[in-house]
């Protein structure tokens, strides 16, 4: 048990140990029957944890569905991770795959890709996270790719279970390839358990609480809150102060110091990049992004919305918008 009194930190403020806490913003994904996700990254104060640039957390949802028609991505990698339920993935690289609990699917968009995401009629509630990692400028236009990995469950620590799906933590190493040094892991802590582990001092680290409550280096994080610590320390401490199990996502990476423009499903380096990408998708989507085969929804593709009238999109950097 921790002997220190945990501190809860309001959005954007720093804890005594350098942990910042970001409560989620609810964002609907479509119509009345579609999912509402809890988004913690990006936010007004912070855009990245390492190269992680997007964190959506959803469920558990009984009776809700995910049915996202073919839509585009550029200059990023999507990372899908489920706790329960099942999602069917199709993309313009001719990949047809299922997203299942405890298995990571990583899709690289690079120059351009299109994909659809549809939850299946699994008996289990849909519950998971959707993550993006931004590609560095010199890798922004690489060839589209898809990777899958089912990491083993590590329960060698008393009261701690973990699955490392990207990077390395302790003795666990994932074969998934990313274009920036990253860490991604699911960790479950039994009631009252403290987990202290070495980490890379050059990494920023984020903790997203899925269920329960977590003390992250002395800062208390409630359900769906993202806690972030800047680089500098070579270890971190996670504690479950309750009498129920707690589950979290641990994300980390080297600080990403480039400026990018994020709008809708695109990442570019300027406002003009986004204007061009939007036009290419809306006017001739197959040319750059390719065609998604086998999607059976009511809409064959998802058009990009209008850009804000008379406004130039601002670039984002580590500490929010420029």
> Does the residue 305 lie in any domain?
no
Q: To the nearest whole percent, how much of the chain has pLDDT over 70?
A: 92
Q: Tens of pLDDT along 152-197? A: 999 977 999 999 999 999 999 999 999 999 999 999 999 999 999 9
Which among 42, 208, 210, 72 has a CA at the least distance from the CA of 133?
42
Predicted pLDDT of residue 21: 97
Is the Cβ–Cβ distance between 115 and 301 less than 8 Å? no
Q: Look at residue 306 and tell me if it is in a domain.
A: no
The percent of residues above 90 in pLDDT, for the chain, comes to 84
Q: For the residues 259-268, what does the mean pLDDT come to?
A: 97
Number of domains in the chain: 1
User: In which band, very low, low, confident or very high, does the pLDDT at 17 lie, cut at 50, 70 and 90?
Assistant: low
Output the CA torsion sign for 256, 260, 264, 266. Answer: negative
> Is position 122 within any domain?
yes
Closest among 198, 193, 102, 83 to 153, alpha carbons compared: 102
Whether 14 has a pLDDT exceeding 70, the answer reads no
Domain that holds residue 44: 19-253
**Dihedral sign, CA of 30, 33, 38, 44?**
positive
pLDDT tier for residue 222 given thresholds of 50, 70 and 90: very high
Largest CA distance in the chain: 61
* Structural domain includes residue 279: no
First to last CA, the chain: 41
The answer to whether residue 27 sits within a structural domain is: yes
How confident is the model over 36-45, as a mean pLDDT? 95
CATH number for the domain that contains residue 34: 2.60.120.10
- The pLDDT score that the predictor gives to residue 12 is 36
What pLDDT is recorded for position 13?
Answer: 36
CB–CB of 135/179 below 8 Å? yes
Q: Identify whether 126 is part of a domain.
A: yes
Binned at pLDDT 50, 70 and 90, residue 30 comes out as low
- Tally the residues of the chain: 322
Confidence at residue 8, expressed as pLDDT on a 0 to 100 scale: 31
7: in domain: no
pLDDT digits (tens, 9 = 90+) for 290-322: 999 999 988 899 999 999 999 999 999 988 765
With the C-alpha atoms ordered 44, 259, 17, 196, is the resulting torsion angle positive or negative? positive
Average pLDDT, integer, range 115-120: 94
Per-residue pLDDT tens over the stretch 74-109: 999 999 999 999 999 999 999 999 999 999 999 999
Asked whether residue 143 is domain-assigned, the answer is yes
With contact defined as beta carbons under 8 Å apart, do 215 and 6 qualify? yes
């Amino acid at each position: 048990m921790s002997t220190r009194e945990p501190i809860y930190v309001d959005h954007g403020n720093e804890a005594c140990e350098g942990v910042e806490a970001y409560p989620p913003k609810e964002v609907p994904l479509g119509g009345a029957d579609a999912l509402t996700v809890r988004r913690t990254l990006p936010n007004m104060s912070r855009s990245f944890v390492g190269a992680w640039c997007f964190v959506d957390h959803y469920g558990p949802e009984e009776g809700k569905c995910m049915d996202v028609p073919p839509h585009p991505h550029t200059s990023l990698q999507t990372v899908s991770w489920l706790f329960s339920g099942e999602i069917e993935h199709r993309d313009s690289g001719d990949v047809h795959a299922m997203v299942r609990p405890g298995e990571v699917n990583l899709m690289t968009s690079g120059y351009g890709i299109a994909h659809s995401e549809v939850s299946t009629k699994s008996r289990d509630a849909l519950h998971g996270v959707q993550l993006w990692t931004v590609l560095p400028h010199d890798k922004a236009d690489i060839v589209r790719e898809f990777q899958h990995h089912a990491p083993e469950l590590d329960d060698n620590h008393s009261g701690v279970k973990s699955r490392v799906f990207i990077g390395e933590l302790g003795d666990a190493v994932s074969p998934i390839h990313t274009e920036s040094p990253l860490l991604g892991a699911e960790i479950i802590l039994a009631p009252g358990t403290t987990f202290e582990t070495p980490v890379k001092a050059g990494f920023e680290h984020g903790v997203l609480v899925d269920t329960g409550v977590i003390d992250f280096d002395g800062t208390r994080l409630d359900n769906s809150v993202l806690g972030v610590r800047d680089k500098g320390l070579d270890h971190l401490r996670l504690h479950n102060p309750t009498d129920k199990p707690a589950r979290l996502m641990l994300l980390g990476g080297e600080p990403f110091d480039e400026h990018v423009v994020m709008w809708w499903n695109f990442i570019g380096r300027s406002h003009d990049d986004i204007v061009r990408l939007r036009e290419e998708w809306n006017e001739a989507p197959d040319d750059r992004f390719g065609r998604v085969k086998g999607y059976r929804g009511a809409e064959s593709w998802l058009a990009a919305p209008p850009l804000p009238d008379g406004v130039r999109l601002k670039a984002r950097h580590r500490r929010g918008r420029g």
